[in-house]
Structure 1
Amino acid sequence: MRESVIYQDILEEGREEGALTSKLNSIPRLSALGLSVEQIAQALDLDLEIEQVPEVNEGQN
C-alpha cells in the first residue's frame, strides 16, 4: 500500500499542507519581532499577495 502512487501523492500533499501551516503559524511571531510583511514573505518563501480590504466605515455617512 505504501508503495502505491495514490498513497505517495496523498502523503506528499499532506506534507506540503503541513509545511504551509507551519509557515503561516510563524507569521505572528515574526511580525511581533518587527519584520515587515515583505521581510516575512521573503523569510518564509511565500508569495506576497496583498488585497486591499475596504474600511468598515467607508461609504457610510
Structure 2
Amino acid sequence: MTETTVQATPKGELPHLKSGKRKSVQLRLTPSEHKELMRTAKNENRSMSFVAHRRYRSGLNQE
C-alpha cells in the first residue's frame, strides 16, 4: 500500500468556495458535546467544522 499526502488548498484558489456562497451556521455546544466533537475530529484527522457540518447535513437528510 502506498502513502499519499494531501496538501490543503488556500480558500481563495477554489472558485466554488467564494465567501459569498458560504453560509455560516451558529451552534451552541455544551462542554461535553464540544469535547466529543474535538475527539471525533482528532480521531478522523478532520477539522471540527468539517465534522460539525457533516453532522448538520446528516440531520437535514433525516428530516
TM-score range (shorter-chain normalised) is under 0.3
Larger radius of gyration: 1
Give TM-score scaled by structure 2 length: 0.27
Give TM-score scaled by structure 1 length: 0.28
